[in-house]
Amino acid sequence: MKAAVVIPARYASTRLPGKPLLKIGSKTLIQMVYENASAAQLADNVIVATDDERIVKAVASFGGTARMTRPDHACGTDRIAEVVRNDLPDVDLVVNVQGDEPDIRGTHIDAVVALLVEHPDADMSTLACRMSGEDAMNDPNQVKVVLDRAGRALYFSRAPVPFVRDAAERDGTFLGHLGIYGYRRKFLLKFTELEHTELERKERLEQLRALEHGYTIRVGISDETVFGIDTLEDLERFKVKRGMSDA
């Protein structure tokens, strides 16, 4: 099965404008994400989907591929679907790697592709990792996921789910969701046309739309956590983590 990675990248981020073009060391954020994605063994293409010519030029400057999309998409998934529909007619599986996730690596991409190959029942795939620490559990920006015994997602939430009454049992109980998705092509194109759902609107988590409409999401467990960048504080913490602090 042929797989492609599509990286949605929007310039006009409300919390961090111009985020894809911010520098980390000698590279822009979008270059780091692109190069990490290009290391995947199970993906045949890597494309940036954007609505801004500045990002197209930046991607071209390091030899990458980018496509302009409509400016009115409500979310990155809709932007990805436009690229898949127009530019990737022969792709069977699509991986969504967020343009602000420089910790996502080729091994993560290969894992979500493998889940779809190994589980024909799955419409989507994603990853999670074991969590510890009260701060992470209670952080609404760290999405949690609950699985059934077969590894299918039951629910995603910004709240610490499942609720654990005994505090001594909490550590390691929670699964933190990693911001990467795999889709079957046919499902991706259908997903963008599905009616938005109540839980999706309340949690502000679009993957709940798939679950509420009865589709299956397979979840793999990763030993690695990933670091997303939403704010300047996140950017500075990432630089420190990578030994690139400006201090």
Range of the domain at 86: 3-239
Asked whether residue 223 is domain-assigned, the answer is yes
pLDDT given at position 53? 95
Q: What is the CATH number of the domain that holds 52?
A: 3.90.550.10
pLDDT given at position 16? 78
Asked whether residue 116 is domain-assigned, the answer is yes
pLDDT given at position 239? 82
CB atoms within 10 A of CB 57: 11
Q: Report d(CA 95, CA 114) in Å as an integer.
A: 11
Low-confidence ranges of the chain (pLDDT < 50): 247
> Number of folded domains in the chain?
1
Asked whether residue 219 is domain-assigned, the answer is yes
Asked whether residue 82 is domain-assigned, the answer is yes
Q: Report d(CA 167, CA 169) in Å as an integer.
A: 5
Identify each DSSP E strand in the chain by its residue range.
3-9, 23-24, 27-28, 45-50, 66-68, 93-97, 124-130, 144-147, 153-157, 175-184, 217-222
Amino acid in position 53: E
Asked whether residue 247 is domain-assigned, the answer is no
Asked whether residue 112 is domain-assigned, the answer is yes
pLDDT given at position 247? 44
pLDDT given at position 92? 97
The pTM for the full model equals 0.92
Instruction: At 106, give phi and psi (nearest 5°).
Output: -60, -35
Asked whether residue 119 is domain-assigned, the answer is yes
pLDDT in tens, 111-170: 999 999 999 999 999 999 998 777 778 889 889 999 999 999 999 999 999 988 776 666
pLDDT given at position 171? 63
Asked whether residue 246 is domain-assigned, the answer is no
